[in-house]
Amino acid sequence: MAHNPDGGLAGAPEAARGPAPGETLPPTATRVDGPAATRTVRRWPIVLLRCVATLFFVLLLIQPVLAGMFISGDVDLLDLHEANSFVISITSWFQVLATVLVWRPGRGPLWPVGVAVLLSFAIVMQDGWGYARELQLHIPLGVLLVAASTALLYWSYGHRPGRGRRG
């Protein structure tokens, strides 16, 4: 293939030629080739989800540490465990919002929205069981919450917007 004066390759498909001279893509968008070649995929929703999911995950990891220190005799940490659970509850709903933004403007898959909603409702149950001192339910659900949060966090860092609909 020969080079054209504009820097592209003669005879190459449109995707291999790259943008025309003077044409630039927005820094927060990725070009999606296919039937709707002019469509762009926004990257800010996945960045937002990564931030919120990381915060949520770290807050969840702090909870068993606070509970363990309370059990070992530092009774003041129960209040901190309770305050952290309140922050986790709020953060879980921000995570739902972030997954919705990845789905709609971000053109991502729908299933992370379902996972985030289930996590948020599980957090509500976790709070109730904690206040009721139902530790036989509270502790296993806490483990499940950390596992599900890990999975969502792992997916968010592996997801590449504009790379098909595989998820």
pLDDT digits (tens, 9 = 90+) for 13-39: 555 555 666 666 555 555 555 555 556
How far is it, in rounded angstroms, from Cα 29 to Cα 20?
17
Strand partners, 29: 42
For the chain, the residue count is 167
Q: Write down the number of H helices and E strands in the chain.
A: 5, 2
Q: Which residue has the higher pLDDT, 71 or 148?
A: 148
With a cut of 90, say whether residue 11 has pLDDT above it: no
For residue 59, pLDDT over 60 is answered with: yes
Helix (H) or strand (E) holding 47: helix 44-71
pTM of the model: 0.74
Higher pLDDT, 55 or 38: 55
The token pair at 121 is 């409702």
- Residue range 65-83: mean pLDDT, rounded: 92
Q: Please report, for the chain, the start and end positions of each structural domain, with discontinuous segments joined by +.
A: 1-41, 43-158
Per-residue pLDDT at 18: 57
Decide if 140 contacts 148 (C-beta within 8 A).
no
First to last CA, the chain: 36
How many C-beta atoms lie closer than 10 Å to residue 154's C-beta? 12
